[in-house]
Amino acid sequence: MKRLNAKTVLLLSTIVMIITNCSTIRQIRPLEKGQQSVSFSVGGPVTEVGSVYIPLPLMSFGYNRGLIDNTLDLETGLHVTQLLYGILDVEVGVNFRPFQSKAWQPGLIISPKLFFMTDFSGGARLYPDLCLTGFWKLHEKVYLFTGLENWFEFSSTRDDGLEQKNHWLLVPYIGTNIGSQRWQFQFETRVYTPNLKNTGRATKNIGFGEYGVLGFFLGVNFTPGKEKK
Amino acid sequence: MRIKLRLLSYFGVTLLCSLIFSCLSLDPFLFKDQKVDAYLLDEYTGFRECASAIEFLKDSVQPVIDEISLMSGGETIYGLLLRHDTTEITQNDTLILYFHGTSDHIDRYWPRTKLLFATGFPVFVIDYRGYGKSTGEPTEEGCNEDGKQALAYIASNLNNPRVILYAFSLGSLPGCAVAAADAKGQIKQLVLEAPIGSVATLVQDASYLNLPGSFVTTFTGNNAERIKSVSIPLFWIHGTKDETLNRETNGLPIWQNHPGKKGYYIIAHESTHRENPITIGYSRYIKCLRDFIRDNSPKDPIMISK
């Protein structure tokens, strides 16, 4: 019986993760021009599976490439779990770093992105996303960060004919990035839509009372040395 | 160059693995079916919805129970017929046909079935294919077909009585499909408790966004549309704290789109998905149903609290 409950929870949580970017912040540390980085993250909304609540193991790959030394990098991502279910979910955007962390002054990453999703059967969606991340370089090997992800839905009507009431979805997050320049590990906590009720959605998540959905993620980044020119 | 190749190989392997497995479907996950060899009814020790109804009804007339099997699209569908005595049901009688929710099998809904029986009318409850003793695996079309065959069985084997179709939660998908396709007018009244508005609504409620239902499932059930061709009186029950199916996005569009004579609806204040009969109160729940079936309903919706 628990197996079957888990199946249903997985279905509905998959719906959740389709939309609200279920991955870690891909690139906390700045990249030099031409420098590349690949990342993998796993985690998701804390969801009831059987009789326990666990973060769903939703997988995502990312690729970043520095465009301007320590200031601008290209970011792309592929959400693997969705692909397993026949949905191509890819993202592309940039990370712009107007200033770096100095002592207790945080650095800032402004990350405008586009998410494209299609099920190859006529259904396709394009969503803009804006992440604002503040980060502190506490040590050569330790970064702390926090930020706010903003998803935008421009439809005024849903496919079921009802009014689309949510046009701006907020996802605050906090995390730490630990490791060498080459390998980094990341732990991140997200709160999905803390301003929206988490009930009436056919899935049970842990939030703050009736609001929001808590999520936990683990990530790993591999950043090879500076590319030879 | 080596780095580029390595990166390409990471993505290549990921993409390849994903495409290999991209035939995975989420459709089966909508059903939480469980098979059993026999129905235990009052003796069932697993989770039962409205379990306290068994105690509540212990002094009332106990049903004469017949286990019934019927064929539906090559599958054997099992059900239970609850009667007050062994007298045959006639064309002038009223029978409640019950379509249960998504979990387990008849035993889980046995207390609910007995509450319906307490209205004074015989009850016929079925397990969809893959549920309980019924063979096969549940599918959207299969469940709809099972519902239609149950109705056909009532017409041909139970002397074609007046049918009141009571559909709860997932059961509203076959419920509305069967009611909309009932060209012979066999169903006289429809009761929807905590119904699904549409599969698309499930997806959009869960995601908060306007995502196509096709992202998640091939199911297309749309009760809010189907109800437009159902003109029989409708009785709608929905809790204000339904954590599974939002009242405003699921039940309300059905109620508003229903073109026929309205019965009435109960807003069960603070009630969750599974607890409407408890919130309303068993005695009042039974009376409301009985009033509706006897066409003695109040015209305005009523809000009932615990």
Kindly provide the b/e burial profile for residues B277-306, where b requires at least 16 CB atoms within 10 angstroms of the residue's own CB.
bbbbbbeebbebbebbbeeebeeeeeebee
Q: In chain A, what residues touch B7 (CB-CB under 8 Å)?
A: 36, 38, 63
Is there a contact between A78 and B14 if contact means CB atoms under 8 Å apart? yes
B23, part of any domain: no
Query: How many other β-carbons are positioned within 10 Å of the β-carbon of residue B4?
Result: 10
Q: In chain A, what residues touch B170 (CB-CB under 8 Å)?
A: none
Partners of residue A63 on adjacent β-strands: A38, A76
Regarding the domain delimited by A6-222, which CATH topology (the fold level of the hierarchy) does it fall under?
Answer: Porin (2.40.160)
Is there a contact between B102 and A80 if contact means CB atoms under 8 Å apart? no
Name the minimum distance, in Å, from the CA of A107 to any CA of chain B. Answer: 28
The closest of A170, A34, A31 to A97, measured between CA atoms, is: A31
B15, part of any domain: no
Q: What is the pLDDT of residue B135?
A: 97
Q: In chain A, what residues touch B29 (CB-CB under 8 Å)?
A: 7-8, 10-11
Domain count for chain B: 1
Name the minimum distance, in Å, from the CA of B6 to any CA of chain A. Answer: 10
The closest of A71, A100, A66 to A227, measured between CA atoms, is: A66
User: A85: which DSSP letter?
Assistant: T
Q: What is the pLDDT of residue A22?
A: 75
Closest residue of chain A to B1, computed from CA coordinates = A227
Q: In chain A, what residues touch B21 (CB-CB under 8 Å)?
A: 84
Is there a contact between A84 and B22 if contact means CB atoms under 8 Å apart? yes
Q: In chain B, what residues touch A65 (CB-CB under 8 Å)?
A: none
Q: What is the pLDDT of residue B208?
A: 85
First to last CA, chain B: 70
Is there a contact between A83 and B212 if contact means CB atoms under 8 Å apart? no
Q: What is the pLDDT of residue A50?
A: 63
Query: At residue B285, what are phi and psi to the nearest 5 degrees?
Result: -60, -45
Is there a contact between A11 and B21 if contact means CB atoms under 8 Å apart? no
pTM: 0.84
Name the minimum distance, in Å, from the CA of B104 to any CA of chain A. Answer: 8
Dump pLDDT digits (tens) for A182-197.
999 999 999 999 999 8
Distance CA B140, CA A5 (A): 18
Q: Are A67 and A74 in contact (CB under 8 A)?
A: yes
ipTM: 0.80
Q: Which domain holds residue B291?
A: 31-305
Q: In chain B, what residues touch A42 (CB-CB under 8 Å)?
A: none
Is the pLDDT at A228 greater than 80? The verdict is no
The closest of B215, B241, B249 to A157, measured between CA atoms, is: B249
B162, part of any domain: yes
User: B108: which DSSP letter?
Assistant: G
Residue of A15, A65, A222, A226 for testing the chain B interface, max B β-carbons within 10 Å: A15
Q: What is the pLDDT of residue B205?
A: 87
B1, part of any domain: no
Distance CA A215, CA A201 (A): 16
* Domain residue ranges of chain A, discontinuous segments joined by +: 6-222
Nearest neighbour of A85 by CB, restricted to B26, B33, B209: B26
B25, part of any domain: no
Residues in chain B where the model's pLDDT stays below 70 = 1-29, 298-301, 305-306
The closest of B227, B219, B228, B155 to B187, measured between CA atoms, is: B155
B16, part of any domain: no
B6, part of any domain: no
Dump pLDDT digits (tens) for A45-69.
887 766 678 888 889 999 999 999 9
Distance CA B282, CA B263 (A): 19
Q: What is the pLDDT of residue A20?
A: 59
Is there a contact between B214 and A123 if contact means CB atoms under 8 Å apart? yes
Q: What is the pLDDT of residue A19?
A: 54
User: What CATH number is attached to the domain comprising B119?
Assistant: 3.40.50.1820
The closest of B108, B97, B140, B124 to B232, measured between CA atoms, is: B97
Q: In chain A, what residues touch B34 (CB-CB under 8 Å)?
A: 1, 4
B165, part of any domain: yes
Residue of B137, B172, B198, B216 for testing the chain A interface, max A β-carbons within 10 Å: B216
Partners of residue A174 on adjacent β-strands: A146, A189
Q: What is the pLDDT of residue A82?
A: 82
Q: What is the pLDDT of residue B218?
A: 77
Q: What is the pLDDT of residue A4?
A: 36
- Number of cross-chain residue pairs from A and B with Cβ atoms under 8 Å apart: 159
Nearest neighbour of B7 by CB, restricted to A38, A84, A202: A38
- CA quadruple A43, A46, A49, A51: dihedral positive or negative? positive
Q: What is the pLDDT of residue A186?
A: 96
Q: What percent of chain B has pLDDT over 90?
A: 71
Name the minimum distance, in Å, from the CA of B60 to any CA of chain A. Answer: 32
Dump pLDDT digits (tens) for B56-88.
999 999 999 999 999 999 999 999 999 999 889
Residue of A201, A211, A220 for testing the chain B interface, max B β-carbons within 10 Å: A201
Q: Are A143 and A136 in contact (CB under 8 A)?
A: yes
